[in-house]
Homo-oligomer: A and B are copies of this chain.
Amino acid sequence: MNSDKLFQEIQKKHSFLCVGLDTDPDKIPRHLLKTKDPLFVFNKQIINATAEYCVAYKPNIAFYESQGIPGWKALEETAIYIREKYPEIFLIADAKRGDIGNTSRMYAKAFFNHLPFDAVTVAPYMGRDSIEPFLEYQDKWVILLALTSNQGAADFQLIRDKENIHLFERVISRSADWGTTDNLMYVVGATKASMLSLIRQKIPDHFLLIPGIGAQGGSLEEVAEYGMNKKCGLLVNSSRGIIYAGHSKDFAVAAGEKAREIQQSMAKLLDQYL
């Protein structure tokens, strides 16, 4: 999928919502734990209830990995289910991988060959050769961490270099030509919306993946105001706020309603800024 196709989907659905599948056995409704494959059963219902309101899904790999082999099985089933039933939806592995070249190549293989993901989140610390193996796959994307939404973001990402430039800005400016606007986007936390103008000066055309709306407290309006470009250029993620909106048997209905609510706010913002 390229950026034009992604923008088409955004226009079609009047939404730039990404639903984060941070599926945790301790948080899903109790009755599902009696099923054989609770994580996938939960995801399937969430997906069917939210697919019309979102353009992307983002399973958070840690949640599956923490469950060992049954977790990986649920991840695989979830990815394949989305790919087959909703081929138009952008599928992100939130994995935050990154290693020396020959090892990153293996991670790329895991998510792009073995699993049908469109994109992987990658950590920049190890530099260019840790990122390039992911970029070698046609029609696949790297989503590089720039400015994250957590408190610890300040520890290193906000260090200023000799020219007074933040580390996260260096990450963006140095990496921007390693890929294109059709295979490289950046993670920018919604809790740092004020930084979005600065980032848009450097990379007006790249898509940004914005976590931190909802549970982490970011504002959708601010993100749109400072971050939207002429092809929208935003995927805004909400995880816990949607998938754990309900806790009873009709949890999926509650999730669908929450996703619809966010989609409707997004539709207004798209009207306003595009």
Contacts and interface: CB of A to CB of B under 8 A. Distances in A.
Interface string A98-114: 11111110110110011
Contact of A150 (B100, B145, B152): B100
Contacts of A115: 68
Contacts of A156: 124-125, 127, 167, 170-171, 174
A31 interface: no
A161 interface: yes
Interface of A: 22, 24, 60, 62-63, 65-69, 72-73, 76, 94, 96-104, 106-107, 109-110, 113-115, 123-131, 145, 148-157, 159-162, 164, 167, 170-171, 174
B63 A106 contact: yes
A67 B69 CA distance: 12
Can you tell how many copies of this chain the complex includes? 2
Given A124-B156, A155-B127, A156-B124, A65 B106 contact: yes
5 contacts: A62-B97, A62-B106, A69-B76, A72-B72, A159-B167
A271 B149 CA distance: 49
Q: Which 3 A-B pairs have the closest CB atoms?
A: A127-B152, A127-B155, A62-B106
A65 to B, nearest CB: 4
Contacts of A152: 100-101, 126-131
Contact of A159 (B104, B149, B161): B161
Nearest to A130: B152
- Point out which of A62, A130, A148, A149 has the most chain B C-beta atoms below 10 A from its C-beta: A62
A18 to B, nearest CB: 16
Contact of A98 (B96, B103, B129, B161): B96
B150 A126 contact: yes
A114 B167 contact: no
- Point out which of A67, A107, A126 has the most chain B C-beta atoms below 10 A from its C-beta: A126
Contact of A101 (B24, B67, B125, B150): B150
A178 to B, nearest CB: 10
Contact of A130 (B68, B131, B150): B150
